[in-house]
A and B are shown apart, each in its own frame.
Chain A
């Protein structure tokens, strides 16, 4: 396996119910930023969750491989998988308001992985946390370390979460709609921060979003999903110049754009939806699990 993260034919389904992911394959190289794009129910966050081992209990992986740093995570025993994910990957979650434990101090929440899982000494972990808070430009980092989450603004909490994600120098970060809950001006700062941190640390980044605008700013390549199926996989430049799949093109056409009053807001044509649904159905015909 050459890529740092390599997902091979990953299929997931609700236990005894419908499929959510249909033989998804994708690679993320070290230093690459890959966007996962799609509408709700497309399965884009399921992929991120599968990689991090946090799928909802009702969802099970039915087939496929997830190679992270040369190891197939799905073949490891649960305890080993947990440790391995904790040491090599991290998550930047969606909602900064609920992603920090309200009853624990910020400092503890940044350092806990280093101390409890990776066995750092507390002093060293705290020094590292301070360093990171400085790096994500949190003012008065010493004070923030002792603060509780409700004392910080939304944007500040997201910075803390980014610092926390980079704390253990992970080689892969999954960002799950990290700016959806933020105002657009704050979103710009946070996106910029994520891009800078990613570039500086050379991390592989899996960026889950429904916003094509955001994708065009931070990602190098992207996968477009519909109904748990990757319908297009391409570089960002090619995608915006000439999307290959009709569904991708329709999605792009439906996206509003303030610079061009005529563009955007065109509903996805029914024919396109029918065609892509047919593709999904075709994928299911080859599925042995019924």
Chain B
């Protein structure tokens, strides 16, 4: 457990120290370019194909026809961490899984973001019990987390909501271009 904690501290320090510099690189000195870059980043998040438990099925469902994640540029699930900039931790992280998860996070190139999906990833969820000996109580103890999506498991819409929140964090606006022009009125899609 000590080793895992040291590794987590290392990842945290690294991301805090260099986050601003690494996220935009030299482009940070040009505000307009930076803004354009950020809108581009927000509109083409590439998640990692990484399912841990129940929530992974809802993550898959979010990528399928009904709730199409591709509408937000986040459909390109990459099997390799080195091609991704979004890690969706969808499920329970166990003690055995923790080093692998942190390695995956480290393998991702900057800029990178993390969504903790589901109660298990947020706090251990239903497995945060007295005699817990194997479940990590919250993935934010291991890696920095940007957006939390609670639920057990959250509906796919909640994951989309999380991605919209993440876009808000990256680009400063809830609906960066081109989705900004969306109407406010919400239509209800009936089930036959």
Asked if A and B are interacting partners, one says no
Task: Spell out B's residues near A (CB within 8 Å).
Answer: none
> Which A residues are within 8 Å of any B CB, using their own CB?
none
